[in-house]
Structure 1
Amino acid sequence: MAEVIAIANQKGGVGKTMTSVSLSACLALHSKKVLLVDLDPQGHSTKAFGYYDSSQYPLSMREVILSVIQDVPIDKEQLILHSDENVDIVPANISLAGINSTLESAMCRETVVKRFIDTVRDDYDFIIIDTNPSLDNLPINALTASDKVIITVQAEPYGVEGMADLLKSINMVKRNLNPDLKIDGILITMTDERTNLSKKIIQDIHKNFGQHIKIFNSTIPRCVKASESTGVGESIFVYDPKGSATKAYNVFTKEVILNAEKEHNDIRMPSYDDLFTNEEQRQEAKLEKIMELPISEIHEFKNHPFKVREDEQMIKLIESITENGILLPTLVRPSKDGSGYEMVSGHRRMKGAELNGLDKVPAIVRDLTDDQATIIMVDSNIQRETILPSERGFAYKMKLEAMNRQGKRNDLTFSQVGKKLNETYSIDKLAEEVGEKKNQIYRYIRLTKLVEPLRDMVDGLREDKIKIAFNPAVELSYLSKENQELVVKYIEEFDLTPSHAQTIRMKELSKENRLDENVIYSIMTEVKANQKEKISFKMEDIDEYFPNDFTPRQKSDTILKLLKIWAKKRKKEHER
């Protein structure tokens, strides 16, 4: 019996037809019996195998749909075309464009295509359905008829636009029409490894969707020959057999075949649940569902390193939620004490929903160990555009500790890796994943040793705008908490920050147990080589003239204002 796979995305120009044609042709080359069903009124899959003119075939998908609706048989011998590449085709042309109005009034309109597919399933190993770029009755029919769906996404700006709507449609079909439907994976198309933009978009796709959906290892490069092949009525396996896109589609096809074989060969002894529950109950238990959960029942992830700030990005997120709702579900796990759920991924979305006046958020509930949850939490946040240095430090620390304890997961089922990773292997893996050098990761982790006022300075969060550079902050992390507090005291008193060289000296003196308040004061108050000459006051000399709650900067501002008033007054006196 055939495995039925729909190639879908309601966005046009993302490589659906090229993928449908290339996958079909390559499956045939692997000695599989293949039927390609063209469900797009543009008929591009039909044309790709040389059938340009509808006069070349008497029947098409339009007649198939009408025959099912009217419950009359159709002549499959006349309907199915046989290409030179051993791919059978159910053709489509522009006459299919008006079929939606007919489907609207049909009984069980979502299952029309399925009823036809069921009559030919036994004749093939694979049935590939090329869908039209929309979310109307035709792609819903394709999803209802399929065992799996492959989503094609182009590595271009706005390539993932509309993915949320597609995923909602897939989940709707899964809940109401086809509980066996699975997402086989996301195939990234039109990549260009020469550009940073393409690489970033691929990273974003993995970040935004990789936690919940398999992403095929193979990516399809942009290729002129691939576009040319459709114009001559041949697949790229005939037109450009040694091309880069051809090789990529061959690797992708092997992944599809392996996925199918793995599922077919997954034979096991029946369990208690298999014997004493019905099929509907078993399928329901397998599905990972999106649920609407009250925000009041979702708790923060323990020691979550990423702060949720009400900044410009949050304003944009709130506007997006107002206009479109929450497009991607959050990920939560049941709380250990049974008091609701713990947020794993989606803290900003939940905060945006809360600020928008919503009391519920869509969420996937998943059982996760502490280490699995930590790794997912870090992975889903670490590629954000704006991450503070200390946030990165705490995130690297948490993930590295989780990897050291349990080993990094390397599949989509979160099964534990048998071999424990030692620290050396873990840091190597972490460095590879985040694109940082090992030493730089350790330097970020050092920031977690800073007292909070110094962390705020390196993150640039102070209201008085005092900021300390990354390198000096790393050196200060080696000081004791008491000495760090003294550094903060003198930074605030003298409104200056230590140079990198000064912090290195403090670190070395601390190692020798020779660093105390007097030494810190001496180092902090010395004139730096690049520093302009300045006047300084001891705080105790001027404190009596200011309110107790005045900061050093407020005192400085007040002194400057008084000096300006004095200078103006003095000038007027001289003019007399």
Structure 2
Amino acid sequence: MWSVANQKGGVGKTTTTVALGGLLAARGLRTLLIDLDPHASLTAYFGLSPEGEHRSLYDAFLEYKQLSADELKAICQPASQPHLYFLPGHVAMATIEKQLATQGGQGLVIQHLLSLLQNEFDWVVIDCPPVLGVLMVNALAACEQLIIPVQTEFLAIQGLERMERTLKMIARSRQQDIPYLIVPTMFDRRTRASVQCLRTMRDTHQDKLWRSVIPVDTRLRDASSAHQTPLQFDPESRGAQAYQQLLRDLLGEQRPQLRKVAS
């Protein structure tokens, strides 16, 4: 189970979640994407309104102690690709911390919900909110691998530093480190700022940094407008190919030697 998080918005979390989910589903793996962000960008990605009257993860959080596996499965929606599903979010998720304030174990709700679905899905990827709170704590407590997309610009590096401080705090709480991989996103080799930012990440985070980058690619934006995964929309696009490389590396698969990105 993977979580995709960064304490800064606009760095490519939702695109990364959808892209990896689509690639896993294309391998025949029953894949569930969970929209844990109150902005519900992943839900909107697949054409469902974040403010709609559909049942959502918000309902699952409120009812998690009574919810059956079949009831939770019924909340999950089919996405645009075979074997791919999503557990929709809702803007009401912004109130969930206050709603659960009097209940114990509020940081373990996602773990409990996933235990209900353990026979339904082969893989789960969570799209996290950009702020530290009970929702992000849920995602970090449940995940086996954390993916941190970082836009190659200097304000995003500050978000990465906040994220790393959060990880240290969570690791102390659960007495176990959370494996994580930093993924440079929106890289534009034509701009000095992007190249310098990538060089800085390599100097300061080499041991946790993915060896390649997700490039700036308008086809990724076009895919979201079409409510399709990048693999569906244009499998030969630079963005889709980069995510293919990322998935192979996350799974530890043998792959051809990559051309080094200039920095």
Structure 1 residues 65 and 126, CA gap change in structure 2 (3 angstroms): same
Structure 1 match to 2:166: 169
**1:252 and 2:249 correspond:** no
Structure 1 counterpart of 2:61, from 58, 65, 86: 65
- Mapped to 1, the partners of 2:67 and 2:196 lie a distance apart of 51
Structure 2 match to 1:239: 233
Structure 2 counterpart of 1:223, from 197, 217, 221: 217
Structure 1 residues 121 and 178, CA gap change in structure 2 (3 angstroms): farther
Name which structure has the greater RCO, CA cutoff 8 Å, separation 6+: 2
- Mapped to 2, the partners of 1:30 and 1:218 lie a distance apart of 22
Structure 1 residues 180 and 158, CA gap change in structure 2 (3 angstroms): closer
1:124 Cα offset (Å) = 2.2
- CA deviations 1:156-196 (Å, max 9, x no partner) are 1312113222112112222213626322x111000001223
The answer on whether the counterparts of 1:7 and 1:151 sit within 8 Å (CA) in structure 2 is: yes
- Mapped to 2, the partners of 1:157 and 1:66 lie a distance apart of 38
- Mapped to 1, the partners of 2:183 and 2:92 lie a distance apart of 30
The answer on whether the counterparts of 1:152 and 1:188 sit within 8 Å (CA) in structure 2 is: yes
- CA deviations 1:529-562 (Å, max 9, x no partner) are xxxxxxxxxxxxxxxxxxxxxxxxxxxxxxxxxx
Structure 2 counterpart of 1:50, from 29, 47, 51: 47
SS at match of 1:187: strand
Structure 2 match to 1:85: 81
- CA deviations 1:261-310 (Å, max 9, x no partner) are 9xxxxxxxxxxxxxxxxxxxxxxxxxxxxxxxxxxxxxxxxxxxxxxxxx
The code of the aligned residue for 1:65 comes to F
The code of the aligned residue for 1:129 comes to I
SS at match of 1:159: helix
Structure 1 residues 172 and 137, CA gap change in structure 2 (3 angstroms): same
The code of the aligned residue for 1:137 comes to V
TM-score using structure 1 length: 0.42
Structure 1 residues 95 and 241, CA gap change in structure 2 (3 angstroms): same
Structure 2 counterpart of 1:76, from 55, 69, 72: 72
The answer on whether the counterparts of 1:7 and 1:16 sit within 8 Å (CA) in structure 2 is: yes
**1:182 and 2:179 correspond:** yes
- Mapped to 1, the partners of 2:119 and 2:74 lie a distance apart of 18
Structure 1 match to 2:13: 16
- Mapped to 2, the partners of 1:174 and 1:53 lie a distance apart of 32
Structure 1 counterpart of 2:97, from 92, 96, 100: 100
Structure 2 match to 1:205: 201
- Mapped to 2, the partners of 1:178 and 1:231 lie a distance apart of 42
Structure 1 counterpart of 2:36, from 30, 36, 39: 39
Structure 1 residues 180 and 88, CA gap change in structure 2 (3 angstroms): farther
Give me the identity figure in percent: 25
The answer on whether the counterparts of 1:81 and 1:89 sit within 8 Å (CA) in structure 2 is: yes
Structure 1 match to 2:24: 27
- Mapped to 1, the partners of 2:91 and 2:167 lie a distance apart of 26
1:137 Cα offset (Å) = 1.2
Structure 1 match to 2:257: none
The code of the aligned residue for 1:154 comes to Q
The answer on whether the counterparts of 1:51 and 1:233 sit within 8 Å (CA) in structure 2 is: no
**1:112 and 2:112 correspond:** no
Query: What pairs up with 1:290-301 in 2 under 5 angstroms?
Result: none
**1:194 and 2:190 correspond:** yes
The answer on whether the counterparts of 2:5 and 2:13 sit within 8 Å (CA) in structure 1 is: yes
Answer with 77-86 or 200-209: which moved more. Answer: 77-86
Q: How many residues align?
A: 253
SS at match of 2:118: helix
Structure 1 match to 2:2: 5
1:111 Cα offset (Å) = 1.1
- Mapped to 1, the partners of 2:40 and 2:233 lie a distance apart of 20
The answer on whether the counterparts of 1:38 and 1:61 sit within 8 Å (CA) in structure 2 is: yes
TM-score using structure 2 length: 0.89
1:97 Cα offset (Å) = 1.5
Largest Rg, 1 or 2:
1
- Mapped to 2, the partners of 1:76 and 1:112 lie a distance apart of 13
1:59 Cα offset (Å) = 1.5
- Mapped to 2, the partners of 1:180 and 1:210 lie a distance apart of 18
Structure 1 match to 2:135: 138
- Mapped to 1, the partners of 2:131 and 2:222 lie a distance apart of 25
**1:121 and 2:140 correspond:** no
- CA deviations 1:475-508 (Å, max 9, x no partner) are xxxxxxxxxxxxxxxxxxxxxxxxxxxxxxxxxx
Query: What pairs up with 1:365-376 in 2 under 5 angstroms?
Result: none
Structure 1 residues 141 and 7, CA gap change in structure 2 (3 angstroms): same
1:229 Cα offset (Å) = 1.8
SS at match of 1:85: coil
Unaligned runs of 5+ in 2: 255-259
The code of the aligned residue for 2:73 comes to E
Structure 2 match to 1:312: none
- Mapped to 2, the partners of 1:216 and 1:230 lie a distance apart of 24
The answer on whether the counterparts of 2:80 and 2:228 sit within 8 Å (CA) in structure 1 is: no
- Mapped to 1, the partners of 2:175 and 2:101 lie a distance apart of 19
- Mapped to 1, the partners of 2:164 and 2:111 lie a distance apart of 20
- CA deviations 1:75-127 (Å, max 9, x no partner) are 02321111231311100021212112123322022112211122223432211
SS at match of 2:154: coil
Q: What RMSD over aligned residues (CA atoms) do the two structures have, in Å? A: 2.1
The answer on whether the counterparts of 1:103 and 1:137 sit within 8 Å (CA) in structure 2 is: no
Unaligned runs of 5+ in 1: 262-431, 436-576
The answer on whether the counterparts of 2:171 and 2:177 sit within 8 Å (CA) in structure 1 is: yes
The answer on whether the counterparts of 2:220 and 2:239 sit within 8 Å (CA) in structure 1 is: yes
- CA deviations 1:351-389 (Å, max 9, x no partner) are xxxxxxxxxxxxxxxxxxxxxxxxxxxxxxxxxxxxxxx
The answer on whether the counterparts of 1:48 and 1:229 sit within 8 Å (CA) in structure 2 is: no
